[in-house]
Amino acid sequence: MSNPVFDRLAKDNRGYATFGGPSPSATAYPQDTPTASPQDLDAMYGQPSATSVDTGRLTYDDVVVKTSLTFAVLLAGAAVGWITKNPALMILGAVVGLVLGLVNSFKKNPSPVLILAYAGFEGLFVGGISQLFEARYNGIVAQAVLGTFSVFVAVLVGVRSGRLRTSPRLNKIFFAAMIGYLLFSLVNVVVTMTSGGSLRGGVLGLVVGAFAVLLAAYSLVMDFEFITKGVQAGAPAKFAWTAAFGLVVTLVWLYLEILRILSILRGDN
């Protein structure tokens, strides 16, 4: 899968990424290099391991820390949305979250401030809509959270074991399916605004919901592969924020789809 992060990296004459440094063939090595003494070697091995701060490269720890921080802000916003029970605040979170989500998606370089702002406003929307569903169906939020976590773990295990992976052909199918899903969602919005009904109810709603969950699961596979390839290619550490943003967007989408499916199963037609 072509990744704009890696496509922008400089290449040497064999096509390998150099990350801005000179290629091995272009580097002049001194002919007379002094041999290190045993004491020097012991001192070198005694030094602490280099971190991402020292190397400036992406690590899994970076991704975990940035993702945890982004989720913490999301949960804080969700708590405010849940407690206040204010529809206007929920709508504000949805609109601003959508705008910031689009801005972050099209930025070449991640902005921690904008990503955390997105998480906060998106949290307002998630908390508000979760409270509405919980008021109607007791316990549904806990079920949706459990379902989201289960899908996340299953996909993570599948990716780590090598059983789940992307391919150029699957990516094309995914993006085509996403366009179809978005068009259906727009039509549903128009139907809801004009007739008060919804196309996301009954059997059709379950089919569309299951389809969306599959799309979200494949999106998670893409997120995990982006992280793995970024670490292996030595991508700049700042892209840990990009990974965190992608994971949060996908998991919020997955959670809302599972929440909708559960509401249909419990009688919301």
Residue 88, pLDDT > 80, answer yes
DSSP annotation string for the chain: ---HHHHTS-B-TTS-B-TTSPPGGGPPPPS-PPPPPHHHHHHHHTSPPP-HHHH-B--HHHHHHHHHHHHHHHHHHHHHHHHH--HHHHHHHHHHHHHHHHHHHH-SS--HHHHHHHHHHHHHHHHHHHHHHHHHSTTHHHHHHHHHHHHHHHHHHHHHHTSS---HHHHHHHHHHHHHHHHHHHHHHHHHHHHS--SSSHHHHHHHHHHHHHHHHHHHHHHHHHHHHHHHHT-BTTHHHHHHHHHHHHHHHHHHHHHHHHHHHTT--
Q: What is the pTM of this model?
A: 0.80
In terms of pLDDT, which residue wins out, 140 or 32?
A: 140
Give the model's pLDDT for residue 123: 98
At 19, is the pLDDT very low, low, confident or very high (cuts 50, 70, 90)?
very low
Give the model's pLDDT for residue 268: 65
